[in-house]
């Protein structure tokens, strides 16, 4: 009966997905261009690596398109980001080199720092990365995976935000870095970039098996029947409309990689036992043995999502005792 509901749900999901795919980009693009913010701030702007001494050759970190509207909706107070209480652009105080107004906190730190000391006398600032990390840790729908993994900070990860180079001319980039680009021009570039952005396509639960019988170890207990599809679809359903998740889950099999980790992303990942041996591997003491690997993944995710059932020490819920 339960599976029936899931199937129905899945069907709806697939339909919705299909609908999205047939009309790519329409929904999000129109939102970016048309909708304006309540605060009167620009809906989207390009953030340049503002610098007092720009590189004469003109090279710089790829600018970022910042969707102010989406962030404004997701956050309660402007002070979360505009931590001084004054709604000015970040680059006013935080430049690539850092300057006195920004207490010499560089732009890089202001955007990426995760080790921000808690202020007692004033508003504690957040960086982009620290706030996103906080979301992934604290929101139940994220915390399952993000409790047991930390995203690899590779080029693809950086490119999620630093993606605005293609949509502007060299002169515009240079002006932006110098801080002389007019706001209207900036907004226009941002809107164009937002429009050009394509939604990420993910594998669907249907790509995976319906059930997996985990029987590699069944000695004391019977094999565990893992409802693979139900787990995946339940996870995906929760983050279907989440903009943060949609922005950062940027490759088709990325959601699989929480469990099927450390191997190249693929729809057909290797078995757990390929790496995790039954007895601990002496050459790799940090690699859990197979039993522990299962337990750590399952319980880590359940704990992260505050799934109270089953209890950690209640063995027979997942695998029945061998008669």
Name the residues that contact another protein, by CB under 8 A: 114, 118, 120, 133, 137-138, 150, 280, 282, 285-286, 288-289, 291-293, 295-296, 299, 312-313
Taking the complex as a whole, how short is the minimal distance between the CB of residue 292 and another protein, in angstroms?
A: 3
Taking the C-alpha atoms of residue 233 and residue 228, their distance in angstroms, rounded to an integer, is 9
Nearer to another protein, 178 or 312 (CB): 312
Nearer to another protein, 211 or 262 (CB): 262
CA-CA-CA-CA torsion for 244, 245, 248, 252, nearest 10 degrees?
-150
Which of helix, strand or coil describes residue 275?
coil
Taking the complex as a whole, how short is the minimal distance between the CB of residue 263 and another protein, in angstroms?
A: 17
Nearer to another protein, 188 or 275 (CB): 275
Closest-CA residue to 40 (of 74, 68, 71): 68
Nearer to another protein, 274 or 286 (CB): 286
Taking the complex as a whole, how short is the minimal distance between the CB of residue 45 and another protein, in angstroms?
A: 29
Taking the complex as a whole, how short is the minimal distance between the CB of residue 238 and another protein, in angstroms?
A: 21
Taking the complex as a whole, how short is the minimal distance between the CB of residue 95 and another protein, in angstroms?
A: 26
Closest-CA residue to 207 (of 53, 10, 60): 10
Nearer to another protein, 243 or 295 (CB): 295
Taking the complex as a whole, how short is the minimal distance between the CB of residue 23 and another protein, in angstroms?
A: 40
251: left (phi over 0), alpha (psi -120 to 50) or beta: beta
Nearer to another protein, 229 or 276 (CB): 276
21 alpha carbon, distance to own chain's centre: 21
201 alpha carbon, distance to own chain's centre: 14
Helix segments in 83-127, DSSP class H: 107-112
Which of helix, strand or coil describes residue 167?
coil
Closest-CA residue to 29 (of 227, 256, 191, 225): 191
Which of helix, strand or coil describes residue 69?
helix
């Amino acid at each position: 009966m339960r599976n029936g509901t899931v199937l129905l749900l899945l069907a709806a999901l697939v339909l919705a997905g299909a609908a999205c795919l047939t009309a790519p980009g329409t929904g999000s693009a129109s939102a970016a261009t048309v909708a304006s913010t309540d605060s009167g701030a620009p809906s989207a702007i390009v953030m340049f690596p503002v610098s007092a001494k720009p590189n004469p050759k003109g090279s710089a970190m790829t600018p970022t398109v910042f969707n102010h509207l989406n962030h404004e909706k997701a956050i309660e107070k402007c002070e979360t980001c505009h931590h001084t209480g004054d709604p000015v652009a970040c680059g006013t105080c935080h430049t690539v080199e850092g300057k006195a107004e920004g207490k010499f906190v560089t732009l890089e730190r202001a955007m990426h720092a995760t080790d921000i000391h808690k202020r007692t006398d004033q508003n504690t600032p957040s960086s982009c990365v620290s706030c996103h990390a906080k979301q992934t840790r604290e929101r139940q729908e994220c915390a399952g995976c993000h409790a047991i993994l930390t995203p690899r900070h590779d080029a693809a990860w950086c490119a999620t935000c630093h993606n605005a180079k293609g949509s502007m001319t060299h002169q515009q980039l240079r002006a932006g870095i110098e801080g002389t680009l007019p706001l209207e021009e900036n907004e226009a570039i941002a809107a164009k970039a937002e429009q050009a952005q394509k939604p990420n396509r993910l594998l669907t639960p249907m790509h995976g098996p319906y059930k997996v019988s985990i029987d590699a170890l069944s000695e004391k207990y019977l094999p565990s029947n893992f409802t693979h599809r139900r787990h995946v679809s339940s996870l995906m359903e929760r983050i279907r409309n989440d903009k943060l998740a949609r922005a950062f889950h940027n490759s088709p099999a990325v959601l699989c990689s929480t469990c099927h980790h450390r191997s190249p992303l693929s729809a057909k990942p290797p078995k757990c036992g390929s790496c995790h041996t039954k007895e601990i591997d002496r050459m790799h003491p940090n690699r859990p043995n197979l039993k522990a690997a299962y337990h750590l993944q399952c319980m880590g995710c359940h704990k992260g999502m505050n799934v109270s059932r089953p209890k950690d020490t209640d063995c027979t819920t997942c695998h029945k005792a061998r008669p």
